Chain A
Amino acid sequence: MMYRFMTIVLAVLALIQAPALRAQDGPLRIEITEGVIEPLPFAVPDFIAESSAANELARNLARVVAADLSGTGLFREIPADAFISPVTSFSSPVQFADWKAINAQALVTGAVNVDAGGKVTAKFRLWDVFAGQELGNGLQFSGTQDGWRRIAHKIADQVYSRITGETGYFDTRVAFVAESGPKGQRAKRLAIMDYDGANVKYLTDSSSLVLAPRFSPTGDRVLYTSYESGFPRVYMLDIASVSRRVLESQDGTMSFAPRFAPNGRTVVYSLIRGGNTDIYKMDIGTGQSTRLTSAPSIETAPSVSPDGSQIVFESDRSGSKQIYVMSADGGDARRISKGDGQYGTPVWSPRGDLVAFTKQSKRRFHIGVMRTDGSEERLLTASFLDEGPTWAPNGRVIMFTRETQGEQGQSRLYSVDITGRNLRQVSTPGGASDPSWSPLQ
């Protein structure tokens, strides 16, 4: 991958701005946990092109930064035709009065250069307009021309982080299943793309049914289920080399629903033997597997807690599908789902505080979150069929599959904040399902 070769240079730029009076409202800040918020107005003028080769990038970088911020639902972009004073130089003083007049509370200025070797270097500053001062220090990122979108995402991550106090999630990727063909004979391919739908790359052809890719904690590998042997089996694929190997191939068994443990060396998954589905874990170094559940009921969809100590999973041992938590070594499990309806596909949040799940109730499907003891259940979505949540690395946004009903029914990816706000369809080339959100790159 070109990403591998991208070097990221962080350089603190000189901070020349003179101290200014604080705005009456205090520092520029969004508290994401607040119940209802008014999106924060911001402006991102086109970056300054420091060489003619950077003219196009100067605009494109600004557009991607703006799209990242607007896409969160926490920010609202002020369009360029409202601007009073153009930004003509990265180093000139900012005309705060002109930005205040159009109520731009945050201003991102930037400059970009492309050198003779094709290396892109972009720098930016974030301004708290009403305080009349810079927020944080200017930063500079370098990369290849092909990787310019990553530079924009890194800048947007910095802006998001400085204003919200949370880690960003824009410089991330999503592994998913690209779908095509009629509903009865859907062709499925493993694919990967930037979180915003750019740079789609296919990792498998459609000759074998594939399901549910899951990123490794380092973002360099995915686990998935493939029927290439004729039976569902868990595979691991190295993204850079697109080489794969089967992890679980015991004769007469089927395996699926894999996920990495946070250590990246252990995989938890479901194995079907004699019609019964249980949860196993495997050390991918030695290939040695250990059975963690041994009930005649269905135990599947395991997800390991970020500290590696516990596994949340789905079981129908009570007679209906519910969510349970057990030790990462197996043993007794306690049920945490408490509401009406049926629960599945639990996923531990990267912060460790919540479990996202799929809920089926009264012929509707929901994506929801609950605390890890099952309290404070909150449904975020409702539709004919929503399933398979995956967490943004900062634990603030969830992506999932939504399928429409009927003969023309299709799957698409959607994202939603854990507050239930900002439901959005994620751009994909066609039908798509089973998203897995990468860690921050």
Chain B
Amino acid sequence: MQVPLSAYLILSAYLFLVGVVGVATRRNALIIFMSIELMLNAVNLTFLAFARFLNSMDGQVIVFFVMVVAAAEVAVGLAIIIAIYRNRETVDVAELNLLKW
């Protein structure tokens, strides 16, 4: 008996939603960022599961590109967080309210 596709997809959906809850709930910018990474990983799992079950290498190549882009995004995002911390002494997103009405 092999592991069915739905098992992978459900795990991936669960991880994605945990990430969404993290983004919507937490105030610490770094934890929000980590939740975004969790979402990206969940999507990678979905791509790989479909690649395996449909015998298509495209899924694996896309995962490779997702990882590269995630690395670039993390670098820039963390630099932004550092710059914000230098200016406002905080990483609490509730305090970053200059653009609020």
Q: Do A and B come from one complex?
A: no
A interface with B by C-beta (< 8 Å): none
